[in-house]
Amino acid sequence: MHGFFDVLIRHGTVVDGTGAPRFSGDVGVRGERIAAVGDLSASDASRIIDATGLAVAPGFIDSHTHDDRLLLSAPSMEPKVSQGVTTIIGGNCGVSLAPMPDGMRAPVIAPLNLLDAQGGWFRFRSFAQYLDTLRAQPAATNCAMLVGHMTLRIATMKDLERAANAQEILAMQLMVDEALDAGAIGVSTGLFYEPAAAATTEEVIQVCRTLGRRGALYCTHMRDEGDGVMQSLEETFRIGRETGAKVVVSHHKVVGRANHGRSRQTLDFISGQMKMQPICLDCYPYAASSTVLSAQRAAIASRVTVTWSEAMPEYAGMDLADIATRMGVATDEAIRRLLPAGAVYHSMDESDVQRILAFGPTMIGSDGLPHDQVPHPRLWGSFARVLGHYSRSLGLFSLETAVHKMTGLTAANFGLADRGLIAPGAYADIAIFDPATIDEGATFEKPVAPALGMHSVLVNGEPVWEHGRASGARPGRVLARSS
């Protein structure tokens, strides 16, 4: 095929995102879309990228993030574009930046403080106002956003320690409708967390009752990922059935030593239930979790590292046990003094992580926490680690499968039209990397580092990462769900 392109990626190995075997070929981009794929040796372009020896894949879709504020406060999105991520799903775990009609005062209730402990960023009175701001000040990546049930509870309820009453449910329903009208792709919950733990299954069903009809999703950080994980899966699937919504089980895992190995049971149940109703799940590629610091979570972990502390920032990056020793107090007292704070918890079994990652329907999501002082390395490393450590080094699955789990599968699950594929007509979201060297640069010791082996990254046809740094371009869009 002849022609002139804006960007021509030559001599690459195309891994197209469908899971199909890789093939050699050129990719021609015109404007924001891929115009041709194949032998384009007779063509020319304003800009030519020589991809000899490199993989050319669809840009990765981070199926689980807390980037609601990062999109605005650090729009070059380095933790994401440096590892090939071109689209993020935000507003997860019940935590969204909007709507907050009356604003928020410091200190912000955990876990909403993952987005901003000071409260100033909770300034969007409606979801429409938030999305309009994202459109007016685009980031380097695309985004598709969920509205968080915990945010809705905090915006509508004075007493969070009980189930919502009829009037509060009505207020939340109106906010869900407003968010969906504005372009939200669904609702998230974080029933594990204190501000939502008192919500009954019925409350969630009521708040989410229009999701199915409107083609929107229900994404959940479940009530229990430990001893009660099976009951939590049952609750999640019931909410899906009663609202008619497709459900996404967020960062699927089993925590606590007593539950090691139970992913066999959870995956059996999930795959059986998938035959009855639409279910998706995502996973981050680490055996350590990260969220706000709490005594309850610390108690079941073999090791806890503090990632940030509003009260005592000097302890960020240190192990909780060492902090308690240095303070000369018990760990519970050390936790009390550090709060509000965040932590990394080593509390999973590596074979569970691998079993969940290798499960066919599992998508990759980072669950990265971009505002932590010493973040869990999943923020900068998740996608590169799946390609390098889990696919190439351990051989857990092929490169084609790894790419599918972060592109085509995710786009189909979230209804992101013309994303996640290398094909004529698809948007030119493209990651070009060396399959022999791609790997995480971030470690627990040094968690802020770009991926190794990432050559260049395009979003809507524009380079956002090249020569080892962000280009400064901000071609990202707010994506809607096409049902």
Catalog residues that contact Zn ion under the rule CB under 5 A: 93, 221
Q: How far is the CB of 134 from Zn ion (least distance, A)?
A: 22
Tokens, residue 117:
């402990």
Tokens, residue 112:
């909403």
Q: Any bridge partners for residue 305, and if so which? A: 319, 344
Q: Which does 352 bind (CB under 5 to 8 A by kind): Cu ion, Zn ion, none?
A: none
DSSP string computed for 236-286: HHHHHHHHT-EEEETT----SGGGTTTHHHHHHHHHHHTTTS-EEEEE-S-
Which of residues 51 and 93 has its CB atom nearest to Zn ion in the complex?
A: 93
Residue 38: how many CA atoms within 13 Å on its side-chain side?
Answer: 7
Which of residues 93 and 478 has its CB atom nearest to Cu ion in the complex?
A: 93
Which of residues 75 and 79 has its CB atom nearest to Zn ion in the complex?
A: 79
Q: How far is the CB of 59 from Cu ion (least distance, A)?
A: 21
DSSP string computed for 440-467: ----SSS---PPBSEEEEEETTEEEEET
Decide if residue 367 touches Cu ion (CB under 5 A).
Answer: yes
Q: How far is the CB of 60 from Zn ion (least distance, A)?
A: 20
Q: Which helix (H) or strand (E) holds 28?
A: strand 23-30
Q: Which helix (H) or strand (E) holds 204?
A: helix 201-207
- Number of amino acids touching Cu ion (CB under 5 A): 3
Site string for Cu ion, 310-349 (x = CB under 5 A): ----------------------------------------
Decide if residue 225 touches Cu ion (CB under 5 A).
Answer: no
Which of residues 243 and 289 has its CB atom nearest to Zn ion in the complex?
A: 289
Q: Which does 407 bind (CB under 5 to 8 A by kind): Cu ion, Zn ion, none?
A: none
Tokens, residue 306:
């503090």
Which of residues 221 and 378 has its CB atom nearest to Zn ion in the complex?
A: 221
Q: Any bridge partners for residue 292, and if so which? A: 342
Q: Fill in the DSSP letter of residue 105.
A: P
Which of residues 14 and 93 has its CB atom nearest to Cu ion in the complex?
A: 93
Minimal CB distance residue for Cu ion: 93
Question: In 112-123, which positions are buried (b, 16+ CB within 10 angstroms) versus exposed (e)?
Answer: bbbbbbebebbe
Site string for Cu ion, 88-107 (x = CB under 5 A): ----xx--------------
Which of residues 22 and 221 has its CB atom nearest to Zn ion in the complex?
A: 221
Q: How far is the CB of 51 from Cu ion (least distance, A)?
A: 34
Give the end-to-end CA distance of the chain in Å, rounded to a whole number: 34
Q: How far is the CB of 367 from Cu ion (least distance, A)?
A: 4
Binding site for Cu ion (CB under 5 A): 92-93, 367
